[in-house]
Chains A and B, each alone.
Chain A
Amino acid sequence: MDPLESEWIIRARSGDLPAFGELVNRHDGYVMRLIRSMAPQEEAEDLWQETFIKAFAGLTAFREESSFRTWLTRIAIRQCLDHRRQERWKRLVPLRAAPSREAESLLELPSPDPLPDQRAVRQEMWHHLQRALDNLPGGQRAAFVLKYVQGCTIHEVAEILGKAEGTIKSDLFRAMQRIRARMQQLYAP
């Protein structure tokens, strides 16, 4: 571990807020990017803040068996999954006929109007990818985000999520299959 980071951790454990602020500065963007891929945008800042508040409160329990970033990632993922679990209970809708696939596709097709530039097209595609991510089970989504959005190796993903590497490979494979199916459905002629 980076000696400077180790020193910040030791100081932050004894309640040194500026030292914890240094840790926040270092990992801020990484955590926000992770949370934005795991949770609704409007909830991202609250979840980001809760992650760091929990990290500060739990620093004494951090035994440096993994890197600080790995530990922080675990907290953030747990926050997002807990939030998702609570939300899905609140958002239950009455039993109804599932909309037909055709109708669903029409609803979600990108606008036929020409988009101003390539960046807007990518944003639109990212939006659809996020919708596909929303439909993944929590574990598969976490594995996909850590691997493809955060750029972790499978070994790191397994360490963060506390699963075997084989399970992560299988989760990633299933997640990719589901995302492909959904994206193909959206963009098929």
Chain B
Amino acid sequence: MKPCPKMQLAINLYHAGELDDGARLEVERHLERCPACREAAEHIGEIARLAAEAPGLEENLAAASARRSRLMAALTPRPPARHTAPLPARPMPLQPLYAALAAMLLVAFGFLLGRFGGRQPAPDPTLQALLTGFQPVVAAGHTVQPELLNVQRVRYDPASGQFEITYNTVNGVRLQGTGNQPQVQLMLARAMVDSDNPALRLHAVKAARTIAAQQQSLDDELLQAIDYLLSKEQNQGVRLMAIRVLRALPLTETIKRTLVQIVLHDENPALRMEAFDGLAAHAGGREIEPYLQTIAKDSSSSLRVKARTLRQTIDAGPVRSAELSQEN
């Protein structure tokens, strides 16, 4: 038995201690007579208690004291460089130094990028060592580390077939190119994974779908980003579009497995249907056939109907299948 959907938010707020007396009494009365909600409430309460017991203050005092000493040492101004400074008893942690160094280098890098637009700045080995990750992107004549990219806008002009990607390091830079250029695909991947803006992520995935449809292939980084979206993305519109990217590609064994996983396990019925359609469109539905029995028990009635119809189509063979499509 499932807990009452209308009570779920109230039960959460009840455990968060955020209900007034009247609402709290109402929830308590409901919990007394509804075992499913009571069970859900107990589970929520258990998680809330567990979170409140989070470790963090249980460390020993010596560790905390040492941590504070290191911080103070890091904040203490350095003696002038011309003196030979004795080594501190506790060496300053490297990360703040790196961060400060990186910040200075970034400012200098951005200044050079803006000032000498057409020239390719010599890659700074220190900066490259600091900014690990993907390979540098050569875009608009500049070498840009992916860690520095901050994609702002993705546009596609169907008339010219050109993608326009506006990104920002220190100065705004715009890249124009076609989908077969690796830097275009890398920037789209970057936008999908890194942007907090779901609209931008959606534009990037749509652009990837266009490239997939045009070229029937995508670079590894872009495929990785699509995979990331399928497993982690919260915006269901973006996830739906990510499935459509896979649908636009040839059905490799890997893509087939991914789509099957979505059909069988995804929580969103619209996504399950999209993945189902992607599989059913190949080889007369034979790719999805082994799973039809399971899908016929899906919680979504539309998907159950789709599975039954496909089953009938496959069983009927080509002649009956033509009749069925006429009937529909």
Given A32-B56, A49-B74, A173-B8, are A89 and B133 neighbors across the interface (CB < 8 Å)?
yes
Given that A97-B257, A97-B258 are known contacts, is A17 also in contact with B76, CB under 8 Å in the complex? yes
Q: How many B residues, CB 8 Å from partner? A: 61
B11-35 Cβ-contact flags toward A at 8 Å (1 or 0)? 0110010100000000000000000
Give complex CA distance A138, B195 in Å.
12
| A129 interface hit (Cβ, 8 Å) | yes
A17-B72, A94-B224 known; A46 vs B13 contact (CB < 8 Å): no
Cα separation A32 to B146 with both chains bound (whole Å) = 30
Tell me whether A61 is interfacial, beta carbon within 8 Å. no
Q: Choose, from A68-76, A106-114, A119-127, the stretch at the interface.
A: A119-127
The closest CB in chain A to the CB of B221 belongs to A92
Q: Is B51 interfacial (CB-CB < 8 Å)? A: yes
The one of A29, A89, A95 in contact with B226, judged by C-beta atoms closer than 8 angstroms, is A95
Question: B55 on the interface (CB 8 Å rule)?
Answer: yes
Tell me the smallest distance from the CB of A94 to a CB of chain B, in Å: 6
For the residues of A in contact with B, the DSSP-based class is helix
Which A20-70 residues have a C-beta within 8 angstroms of B? 20-21, 24-25, 28-29, 32-34, 36-37, 45-46, 48-50, 52-53, 56
* A-B CB contact pairs (8 Å), 11 listed: A24-B72, A32-B67, A56-B75, A85-B194, A88-B193, A89-B193, A94-B223, A148-B48, A148-B52, A149-B56, A180-B47
Instruction: Point out residues on B near A: beta carbons under 8 Å.
Output: 8-9, 12-13, 16, 18, 40, 43-44, 47-48, 50-57, 59, 64, 67-68, 70-72, 74-76, 93, 95-96, 99, 132-134, 146-147, 190, 193-194, 196, 220-221, 223-228, 230-232, 234, 254-255, 257-258, 260-261, 265
